[in-house]
Amino acid sequence: MGVLSVQLAVLTVALIRTGQARHYEHAETYLHDYSGINLDAVRWLVEEQEIMLLGADNLSFEAFPPEREDNWVPVHTYLLAEKGVMFIEQMYLEGLSADGVYEFAFIGASLKLKGASGAPMRPLAIPLK
């Protein structure tokens, strides 16, 4: 993995490409032991960088199997219950990466569902450069 230099402005949407989407059609690989973000990295993004929304291309946003035995989803717990920060799972980020698009205007067009805790969404990335 290379180093990418992008300045994160306050209230930025940060999307993380783990490469997991490449395994989507191979359930055994896609559904088990996938990479993801850990709690320390998420805390840094939320508390230090003031990210407003996070997204990733993996199944559960955080790594699996879990790092802790007392909480299988510490990133979910921190983001949703403690900070109220939403995140998007199973994003297809391969096209953006292949085109070298790392800075863009993000539009999240979701269905409005009454009483739901989640909804299908069409994420749009409009390149800035």
Residue 120 within a domain: yes
118 phi, psi to nearest 5 deg: -160, 165
Residue 45 within a domain: yes
User: Taking the model in full, what pTM does it have?
Assistant: 0.83
Residue 49 within a domain: yes
Residue 102 within a domain: yes
Q: What is the pLDDT of residue 31?
A: 78
Residue 5 within a domain: no
Q: How many domains does the chain have?
A: 1
Each residue's pLDDT tens digit, 8-32: 778 789 999 988 888 888 888 777 7
Residue 116 within a domain: yes
Over the chain, what is the mean pLDDT? 87
| Res 6 pLDDT > 70 | no
50 phi, psi to nearest 5 deg: 55, 45
* Closest to 87 in 3D by CA, of 66, 69, 105, 62: 62
Residue 59 pLDDT class (50, 70, 90 cuts):
confident
Residue 108 within a domain: yes
Domain that holds residue 19: 13-127
Give yes or no for a contact between 111 and 121, defined as CB atoms under 8 angstroms apart. yes
3-state percent helix, strand, coil for the chain, nearest multiple of 5 = 25, 20, 55
